[in-house]
A and B are shown apart, each in its own frame.
Chain A
Amino acid sequence: MPSDQLKPLPHWQTTSLTSSTRPQLNFPIEQEIILQTNVGIYQGNCKILNYQKCRAYLTNQRLIFVRDDTQHSEGERLGLLINLKDIKKVEYVKGFIRSSSKIIVYLKRRNKESPEEDSILEDNGSKAVILLDTTWICPICSFVNSINININLNTQEKACENCGVKADKQVLTTVITEALSKTKANSSRQDVTVGEQETDVGCPQCTFINHKSLTNCELCGCQLPSSKMNQSAVSKSLKVERTLKVAFQFEFKDDGLTGKDTKYIKLSFREVKDSSDKKFYQQLQQALEATKWEGLLDNGNINKNSQTAAPLTALHESLKTPVFGIHSLTIKESVKSQQNQNVLTSSVDDFSKIINDDDSQLQSLLDSFTPIVNKQLRESHSKTHKHTITTKQLRTNQYNTPTSQTSPKELAYRIQDHLTSHSSTVITPLTPISDLYVSYNRTLPPQGKISPELFLSIIPMLTSPKSQFQSMVIPGTTQLAITDTKQLQSLQISIINFIKTYGIPDAYSFRRVNLIQVAQFFKWGVGLSQFAMDLAIQDGAIVSDVGLEGTWFYLNEFESLDIISCNNGDDVGFDGQVGDHEESTVGQGLQSDNSPSTQKNSLFDLDFPTVPRAKPVGATTVTTETMGNGQTENSNNKKSKTLLELEGLVL
């Protein structure tokens, strides 16, 4: 079936995918706009057979297709994409009886020589996207910021991610040109060595020798130039006419495009809900317009000669020169306030003029504005965006609304991404669903929050049998928790280590912890802690001791404390031990009679990461008060209440 005669169009490019088979976006410039599932792709009139059921992602830079039907083997972990800049225009064709609705995407002409591609190095950012980052160091705080090398410095200002001070343009240009020359050198070198280069890769920044399959340095995180994936990125951006990694399987041998000037591809919408195809089309059009606009901006043809107000720009220009230190900051501030004052006085003047004129005139003016205001409320990104950055942000927010536009499956992918990307820091191997819901929703823009019902409906998709995530019911509650099966082992190890290190030695120097300590240390709720400990007990890693004071957890020492009768003669050191035991027994007795609430306080007072004490804690921390049995019962009730409170707070 794969056709020898029919070649894929040069416009097709590939991108790598994340672990959950979502495309890797060119963060942070690239933003996802809309997603459509179940899309088939045509090149010309010819079906691309292996891309008949895919997800189409529209971002503000590219149109990406990811196969949905098969398990992605390593080689096929690639998404097909078309740069929006390559698109000439789009056309919408309505579905008719059995033929589904389609979007025809006309592509710009591409010369084999493609002079534009070669000119990237001089005219940065005008054409295809180079997926390369370099770093610049903030002169104020010396934080290492990353920057995309094809950023347009004429239109965009870069601020330090750490201290927020805007970067000097001069610094950035030097950094970028350096990086570009490096890339060039690399790519020319790689042309020779590609294929047999299988050795490990030394980091250009810290010289750490990384494994060849890594894309970023293990130590400093900077991008490795000669790793395979970056190679492909480099060669992708610099040499467009390379062979695509994706194997195309065409239906016919002729796509009807040979000899024609305008090449086109078609997107066929196999599954349309609430005219989602039309929405996709609209968004695509808007994105194209935005791209065009940005292209114009990049070329520097817009607003080049326009001046808002001459004095202000002059002031502004003076600000552009690099200034450091508090003195200059104050100057800057005063200049700014001067500007503001100017603007305000002028507008107040205008306003008073209007008021003085006529009331009716004012009314008519107001009326004339209402449609515009309303329109602006409706679509917050007006086409006349002067401040590209602010509108960009607004647009981003609007695009990310998942409730209406995203399919549950896609949401599941996103949540999985969220879980995996944060699993080391925010999310523990055990995450109550409520926590996950909150933490995921926090990453969403205000108008794009998802509802609990929707979230619940997604959970089964996330925890399919072959997934690494499984849901479990926290015992004693109706709460579900998501567990990362890959990390459960490490969880147990960390619990064991926790008991070993921070456990309080009891009268016989067995280390023990209680639930509250666990909850505090791992920052879990009490229910979840109980759950985690139960899991560890079920695996025999730890053992529990249920007594009147509550439950304590010990390491499983049953095996190590095998009974070897010590009564067969040698009773060395027995007497000394007896003395020790009696002393600590007194402490122990006191502790057990103490009200659990005071005991809890003493636990809270306990500095957590202290060096484990060699002496039994019972003898040192216990206060002198003793209580009767009846009081103990009362305080038991109290404890359960506080526990409940805690649970309510934490969970």
Chain B
Amino acid sequence: MSTQHQQQPFKFPKIYNFPPFFTKQPHAQTYATQLQQWIQLILDYCRYNRVWILNEKGVPLSQGNVDQDQSELTSQDLNSSTTALDDEDADVRKKGIFVNDKISRSLDTLMIQEIFQELITSGNASYVNNKRNANAKTYYIHWNTPSDWSTILLNWIESKGQSGTVFTFYELCFGDLSIGQEFYGIHPDILELAINVLVDDGRARLLKDEDGKVAGVKIQ
């Protein structure tokens, strides 16, 4: 799946090249449409490129299959796709989704904030609690909401007959069983959010080791 992505970069919709798209529209109804189109664009883009975290400029901070060892806030080295093949994608990775160099337009920061706010209220984004760098606002982008993820997990476990088996987080993300699943390589924080949804529903139980650290999860 991911190899296919690298060959065919995300195709931006036509509106991304429509200059007024980058100006906050004064007309209320038009603005509502504009906002929805931005949200749709962000979610589409993030889903396509498996972007987990965006910063306030729209630069993907975590993308693709996240190794659990990796620090969550370092931009991944995206090996092959950063070539000249894919201008727009490279631009987005460098300057963020809110800048379109082709038409020399960029979105106003206020408007960006409103977009993120709208994303958060609709449950498609949440703040990253980053202790090291409290000022930098970063957002998890939930192109699948945590409850979506939890449903996917549950369906997968049931279909594999693994109900009641204890998994470590790593096994869920990178285990042999989960290869080819949508959540393969999911960002651990987002996985945790999904598991928490299951825990709240009483469908999962967290198993902790002696230090109080979560060692595994039993989903049933």
Contacts and interface: CB of A to CB of B under 8 A. Distances in A.
Contacts of B29: 540
B13 A574 contact: no
A544 interface: yes
A604 interface: no
Interface stretch (B15-23, B68-76, B147-155, B164-172): B15-23
Contact of A510 (B8, B11, B18, B41): B18
B102 interface: yes
B105 A563 contact: no
Interface string A547-575: 11000101011110111111100010010
Contacts of B13: 561, 563-566
A589 B11 CA distance: 22
A73 interface: no
B104 A589 contact: yes
B202 interface: no
B19 A537 contact: no
Given A507-B17, A510-B18, A554-B20, A563 B37 contact: yes
A537 B44 CA distance: 29
B63 interface: no
A97 to B, nearest CB: 64
Contacts of A512: 19
Nearest to A592: B104
B184 interface: no
Contacts of B30: 540, 543, 556, 558
A157 B48 CA distance: 86
A562 B18 CA distance: 12
Nearest to B19: A545
A584 to B, nearest CB: 9
Contact of A588 (B10, B11, B41, B102): B102
A588 B102 CA distance: 8
B102 A558 contact: no
B102 A581 contact: yes
Nearest to A577: B11
A549 to B, nearest CB: 8
A567 B48 contact: yes
B26 A538 contact: yes
Interface in B34-66: 34, 37, 40-41, 44, 48
Given A561-B15, A563-B15, A571-B11, A545 B23 contact: yes
A546 interface: yes
A133 interface: no
Given A557-B18, A563-B40, A588-B102, A537 B26 contact: yes
B14 to A, nearest CB: 5
B19 A552 contact: yes
B27 A540 contact: yes
Contacts of A563: 13, 15, 37, 40-41, 44
A539 interface: yes
Q: Which of A552, A554, A563, A566 has the most CB of B within 10 A?
A: A563
A25 to B, nearest CB: 47
Contacts of A635: none
B25 interface: yes
B8 A554 contact: no
Interface string B194-220: 000000000000000000000000000
B33 interface: yes
A439 interface: no
A543 B44 contact: no
B54 to A, nearest CB: 18
A506 interface: yes
Given A510-B19, A554-B20, A558-B34, A547 B104 contact: yes
B104 A548 contact: yes
B1 interface: no
Nearest to B40: A563
B134 interface: no
Contacts of B37: 558, 561-563
Interface in A572-609: 574, 578, 581-582, 585, 588-589, 592
A475 B8 CA distance: 48
Nearest to B17: A508
Contacts of B136: none
B104 A588 contact: yes
A565 B19 contact: no
B14 A508 contact: yes
A503 to B, nearest CB: 12
Nearest to A591: B104
Contacts of B26: 537-538, 544
B52 to A, nearest CB: 18
B18 to A, nearest CB: 6
Interface string A494-525: 00000000000011101010000000000000
Contacts of B110: none
Contacts of A554: 18-20
B21 to A, nearest CB: 8
A563 B15 CA distance: 7
Contacts of A547: 19, 22-23, 104-105
Q: Which of B17, B29, B103 has the most CB of A within 10 A?
A: B103
Nearest to A559: B33
B48 A506 contact: no
B23 A565 contact: no
Nearest to B24: A546
Q: Which of B14, B20, B21, B29 has the most CB of A within 10 A?
A: B20
B3 to A, nearest CB: 15
B27 A508 contact: no
Contacts of B87: 578, 582
A545 B100 CA distance: 14
Nearest to A540: B27
A507 B103 contact: yes
A510 B15 CA distance: 10
A539 B40 contact: no
A546 B111 CA distance: 13
B69 to A, nearest CB: 30
Contacts of A546: 23
Contact of B11 (A507, A540, A556, A566): A566
B8 A571 contact: yes
Contacts of B18: 508, 510, 554, 557-558, 561
Nearest to A562: B37
Contacts of A508: 14, 17-18, 103
Contacts of B104: 547-548, 588-589, 592
Contacts of A543: 20, 23, 25, 27, 30
A538 B28 CA distance: 8
Contacts of A581: 17, 102
Nearest to B14: A561
A556 B18 CA distance: 10
Contacts of B41: 563
Nearest to A551: B23
Contacts of B40: 563
A512 B17 CA distance: 13
Q: Which of A544, A558, A592 has the most CB of B within 10 A?
A: A558
Given A510-B17, A545-B22, A554-B19, 17 more contacts: A510-B18, A537-B26, A539-B27, A540-B29, A543-B27, A544-B20, A546-B23, A556-B30, A558-B15, A558-B34, A561-B37, A566-B11, A566-B13, A571-B11, A585-B102, A588-B103, A592-B104
A-B complex: 3 closest residue pairs judged by Cβ atoms: A545-B19, A543-B20, A508-B17
6 contacts: A506-B103, A557-B15, A558-B33, A561-B14, A574-B11, A588-B104
Interface of B: 8, 10-11, 13-15, 17-23, 25-27, 29-30, 33-34, 37, 40-41, 44, 48, 87, 102-105
